Amino acid sequence: MPYPTAVLIVAAGRGERAGGAVPKQFSLLGGVAVIARAVAAFGDLPVFVVVAEGQHAALAAALGARAVSGVVIGGATRQESVRNGLAAIGEAGGADKVLVHDAARPLLPRAVLDNLIAALDTRDGAVPVLPVADSLARGDALMGETVDRAGLWRVQTPQAFRMDALMTSLSRWTGEAATDEAQVVRAAGYSVATVSGDMMLDKITHPQDFARAEALLATRMVSRSASGYDVHRLAEDEELWLGGVKIEHTHGLSGHSDADVALHAITDAVLGTIGAGDIGSHFPPSDAQWRGAASHRFLAHAAELVVAKGGIIDFIDLTLICEAPKIGPHREAMRARIAEILHLPVSRISVKATTTERLGFTGRGEGIAAQAVATVRVPEDM
């Protein structure tokens, strides 16, 4: 069965113009690799990535846990890279529609993607464009011929095509290297629509473009907070793990995993910020593999899900509720460990504790409760 829509991202650049030793598609933008952001922007669509020879390991490191449908070795030119990628999609069963995209444009608003795909209902292709705002000059910037910017457009990617139209056009193309696929498809006589592009899609070419893209990204992020709450029973002959730290105490917490009530509450708070359910839906207690599991794995997984959405964890505030043990002596160790699990500075982790004046189950020492609030920033169209 062909994919209804597949995505081809060309990430084969050596990145010389961006000035770094690391090609720009593998560099970090707001804490997430450029290529990982480009892939994540397509949501659940199958993505094929074209890299240069020798870039497999860099791609895998940049993508982390994010899966792609195929990794393809590029050619000497962009056009060859696109052809290799399309061939790989064909070998995987083909696609009715294809989006061809540059990794150097990692910030793709959902609205642009939706408009491109919708345009293919009536047209063979669709490209995002923006009007040219600046004055243009040909030759010498001050003395040269000025160019009337009316009717001039900046053409961005992704460019969307009906697969049959793109394949036919490429097979007929006999010209020099085309600037983009839209040129090839139009030359073959197919119809190509334009949809509104977005400044977010401006290409990252030079080192200063990263700062611009990060500033733009911050304006499109929204803050979200969510809470988590957990309780575990205190029992003799159990280890006591709190906030990822082992504490010597007369009793420990019992539960299916290591019963670290603090990390469980934080995990639920982090999951809540992206509406990703709760710890039990990701790590069901009925599954034997989580018996006695170290809870830092649950929290690290939740954090990875936030990063996969293009999000950033801003702050964690934890409150432990118990009569004993005293939390104060362990507070800094817990902050440090939680920060380590989340790859955050300690300054972004708060650990507090309270008793309940000997009232209720915590007051009677039957169990320990924990509540947490996580604050994150995520793309507004996530």
Query: Which position's Cβ is nearest Mg ion?
Result: 264
Rule CB under 5 A: which of 24-63 touch Mg ion?
A: none
Smallest distance from Mg ion to CB 350, Å: 20
> What is the smallest separation between the CB atom of 232 and Mg ion, expressed in angstroms?
6
The nearer residue to Mg ion, 38 or 265, going by C-beta atoms, is 265
The least distance separating Mg ion from the CB of residue 111, rounded to whole angstroms, comes to 39
Minimum CB–partner distance for residue 255 and Mg ion (Å)? 6
How many residues touch Mg ion under the rule CB under 5 A: the total is: 2
Binding mask 84-103 for Mg ion (x = CB under 5 A): --------------------
Q: Work out whether 264 is an interface residue with Mg ion (CB under 5 A).
A: yes
DSSP string, 223-256: EEEEEEEEEEEEETT--EEETTEEE--S-EEESS
Q: Decide: 329 and 369 in contact? Cβ < 8 Å.
A: no
User: Does residue 337 bind Mg ion (CB under 5 A)?
Assistant: no
Q: Near Mg ion by CB under 5 A, which window of 3-11, 58-66, 150-158, 264-272?
A: 264-272
What is the DSSP-derived secondary structure letter of residue 92? T
From the list 100-108, 200-208, 256-264, 328-336, the region that binds Mg ion by CB under 5 A is 256-264
Beta strands, E only, the chain: 3-10, 28-29, 32-33, 47-51, 70-73, 95-102, 125-131, 136-138, 145-147, 153-155, 159-162, 192-196, 221-235, 240-242, 245-247, 252-254, 312-321, 349-354, 367-379
Half-sphere exposure (CA, 13 Å, Cβ side) for 297? 11
Give me the 307-336 binding string for Mg ion, x by CB under 5 A, dash otherwise: ------------------------------
Place of tokens 């009677």: 364
Q: Write phi, then psi, for 160 (nearest 5 degrees).
A: -105, 140
CB atoms within 10 A of CB 246: 14
Taking the complex as a whole, the smallest distance from the CB of residue 311 to Mg ion amounts, in Å, to: 24
> How far apart are alpha carbons 128 and 355 in whole angstroms?
58
Q: How far is the CB of 280 from Mg ion (least distance, A)?
A: 8
Residue 198 vs 230, nearer CB to Mg ion:
230
Q: How far is the CB of 41 from Mg ion (least distance, A)?
A: 34
As measured in angstroms, the least distance from the Cβ of 239 to Mg ion is 15
When asked if residue 296 is in the footprint of Mg ion (CB under 5 A), the reply is no
Binding mask 339-368 for Mg ion (x = CB under 5 A): ------------------------------
* Binding to Mg ion in span 174-233, by CB under 5 A: 230
Pick 161 or 298: Cβ nearer Mg ion: 298
β partners of residue 153? 131
DSSP type of residue 328: G
> Measured between alpha carbons, how far is 280 from 288 in angstroms, rounded to an integer?
13
Residue placing its CB nearer to Mg ion in the complex, 190 or 283: 283
CA 321 to chain centre: 34
Could you report how far apart the first and last alpha carbons of the chain are, in Å?
A: 29
Site residues, Mg ion (CB under 5 A): 230, 264
